[in-house]
Chain A
Amino acid sequence: MTTAFWIQTGGSLVAVLVVAWLVGRIGLGADPRIADAEHAIRLAEEAEAGFGGVEVARDRAGFAAIVRNAEGRMMLVRAHGNFFAARPVDASVIGRLDKDFLTLTMAERTFGAVTLHLGKEAGMWASRMREIARA
């Protein structure tokens, strides 16, 4: 590795940080929310063609939702950057049920934990999710 290489790499790192900072500074970006049940079902469909969502538990702020299909399978959809990402969920991901809040902790650590404010439905959805494992 030559000195020129390290200067070039150092310069690149500085440029990278400046450009990324600039993106946020000038106001680029979005604040994606799941508008309603129909939107959640569409997002689940985009994540898995043919998923066929029929019922939705939507986080009050619209950051995430759980979509159930006719077979009883469930899909978690959550905001990621300007868009959304989704994962199938079952009993194994139930991290905590705290009154109106349901926290799902994925085995995939980089996907992270998601807390949904589901109101009184939180308990019901947790129970349903536990049934997926039993089935």
Chain B
Amino acid sequence: MPELPDPVVYAVPAFILLLLVEMVVSLRADKSRYEARDTLTSLMLGTGSQVAGALVGAAVVGMAVWVHQFRLFDIGLAFREWWWAWVLCFFLDDLAYYVFHRSAHRVRWFWASHVIHHSSQHYNLSTALRQTWTGFFSLGFIFRLPLFLIGFPPAMVFFCAGLNLIYQFWIHTEAIRRMPRWFEAVMNTPSHHRVHHGVNPRYLDANYAGVFIIWDRMFGSFVAERDDEPVRYGIVKQLGSFNILWAAVHEWVGIAKDVWHAPWRHKLDYLWREPGWSHDGSRATSATIKARWAAGLPVEEAAEQLSRHPGLDPGSPSFTAMKRDPGSSPG
């Protein structure tokens, strides 16, 4: 396979420089944006992710090359001749990322790998580097395989994926409020991605985009950040720990325990159903949380939320009970 440089390696000095700049900005704007143990955890998880990636890199490349032999079209690498293919590849790779990312939030098996990135209650540039150790094990690479089948050379796809990753670094910040309107309309931005990292019921399961926010707008998963509702970051059940190993594997341990204890007919459900699902309904999925929250909203806004999130079940016992008894609803 022809080789291209890994753009991420060249971006690392810029990552560190921007991190230091954001720290200085936070010193003046809001000191609580950083916490030493949280930053250490994020950066150690990032380093571990690089090591894990290096360990399995050959296998991923091998698989890409193997799939590429069954390609539908012959596409070259030379930019002068194939510039349009490069542009198309970047665009389609971003679409593949959207599909992967949405699945990573809606299927517990993929979530177990991705949750590591959301496990910080902070939202700063160090959070961007908090990356998975178990991406290969979770089979997350399958979402890019169609690109090789189309005929995009593996080197081109991996280069575009690197650029995609670099783009996603700078949007992990509270230092930038909003970009120009035209930019917010097309591109993923700090504002859009803050929403994605939010645990406020309003913000759950939204804005899965990598580079282009248009995918969320097209597929109905876009939620705009509101100035009257600051984003709270992290995961629904906050880790409450800076243990690096636990951050990396806690959801896998949770899956293993659930599968072990579940009745036979429900064992697989704990792998493919959404995070928070349980066979006895004793836990809360994002839809349950949204329903409970919507029950406490004024009628007009609750209706708006229901129209925006068809997954909410207004007929569910928790929703109707709370509607009947607004005193028990969240504030």
A98 to chain B, nearest CB (A): 23
Question: Which residues in window 1-47 of B have CB below 8 A to A?
Answer: 16, 19-20, 23, 26-27, 31-40, 43-44, 46-47
Q: Are B239 and A50 in contact (CB under 8 A)?
A: no
Q: Which listed segment binds A: B81-89, B168-176, B291-299? A: B291-299
Assembled-state Cα–Cα distance A86/B235 (Å): 12
Q: Are A50 and B39 in contact (CB under 8 A)?
A: no
Q: Are B43 and A19 in contact (CB under 8 A)?
A: yes
Chain B residues near A84 (CB, 8 Å)?
A: 238
B240 close to A (CB within 8 Å):
yes
A45 close to B (CB within 8 Å):
yes
Assembled-state Cα–Cα distance A32/B122 (Å): 14
Give the interface size class of chain A.
35 or more
**A80-B32 contact in complex given A23-B39, A26-B27, A42-B331, C-beta closer than 8 Å:** no
Chain A residues near B27 (CB, 8 Å)?
A: 26-28
Q: Are B328 and A29 in contact (CB under 8 A)?
A: no
Q: Are A23 and B240 in contact (CB under 8 A)?
A: no
**A29-B239 contact in complex given A19-B39, A20-B40, C-beta closer than 8 Å:** no
Q: How many residue-residue contacts, CB under 8 A, span A and B?
A: 122
**A110-B241 contact in complex given A49-B292, A82-B122, C-beta closer than 8 Å:** yes
Closest to B43 in A: A16
**A85-B240 contact in complex given A1-B54, A30-B31, C-beta closer than 8 Å:** yes
With beta carbons under 8 angstroms apart, the residue of B47, B239, B246, B322 that contacts A9 is B47
Assembled-state Cα–Cα distance A109/B32 (Å): 26
Closest to B233 in A: A83
A54 to chain B, nearest CB (A): 10
Assembled-state Cα–Cα distance A95/B246 (Å): 23
Question: Which residues in window 252-307 of B have CB below 8 A to A?
Answer: 284, 289, 292-293, 295-296
Assembled-state Cα–Cα distance A24/B38 (Å): 11
A19 to chain B, nearest CB (A): 6
B194 to chain A, nearest CB (A): 15
Closest to A42 in B: B331
Q: Are A28 and B36 in contact (CB under 8 A)?
A: yes
Chain A residues near B23 (CB, 8 Å)?
A: 22-23, 26, 28
B76 close to A (CB within 8 Å):
no
Q: Are B238 and A47 in contact (CB under 8 A)?
A: yes
Q: Are A12 and B47 in contact (CB under 8 A)?
A: yes
Q: Which residues of A contact B (CB under 8 A)?
A: 1, 5, 8-9, 12-13, 15-17, 19-24, 26-30, 32, 42, 45-52, 70, 78, 80-87, 110-112
Cβ-closest 9 pairs across A and B:
A85-B240, A20-B40, A24-B36, A30-B32, A50-B292, A110-B241, A28-B34, A16-B43, A85-B238
